[in-house]
């Protein structure tokens, strides 16, 4: 999968993180915090302001998870 990261809404990102095994831990203001099953010492955090999550934040989340872009967007993974 080359090029830009496909846009995801907050609900879509929440669903995908849960599919990957992340667990919602808490919300402080508009920021949602999830556990990271691939790197337990690293939390996944993103702002939930409605609308699409910025692509740069999605790229950072994928990097924090230690996954490739193809793995993150693949419905067959994990």
Q: What is the CATH number of the domain that holds 63?
A: 3.30.920.30
**Is residue 34 domain-resident?**
yes
**Is residue 2 domain-resident?**
no
**Is residue 78 domain-resident?**
no
Q: What is the mean pLDDT of each run of 10 residues along the chain (78 residues)?
A: 79 95 95 94 91 92 94 88
Q: How many structural domains are present in the chain?
A: 1
Q: Output the pLDDT for position 45.
A: 94
Which value, to the nearest 10 degrees, does the dihedral of the CA atoms of residues 76, 25, 50, 18 take?
10
For residue 30, the enclosing domain spans 8-73
**Is residue 3 domain-resident?**
no
Which value, to the nearest 10 degrees, does the dihedral of the CA atoms of residues 61, 65, 70, 73 take?
-60
Q: Model's pTM, two decimal places?
A: 0.88
Q: Output the pLDDT for position 15.
A: 95
Q: Which pair of structure tokens corresponds to residue 11? A: 């609900």
């Amino acid at each position: 999968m080359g090029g830009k990261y496909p846009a995801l809404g907050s609900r879509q990102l929440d669903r995908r993180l849960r599919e990957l095994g992340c667990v919602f831990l808490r919300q402080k203001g508009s920021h949602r915090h999830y556990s990271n099953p691939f790197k337990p010492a690293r939390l996944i955090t993103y702002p939930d302001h409605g609308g699409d999550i910025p692509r740069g934040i999605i790229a950072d989340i994928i990097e924090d998870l230690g996954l490739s872009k193809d793995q993150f967007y693949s419905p067959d993974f994990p």
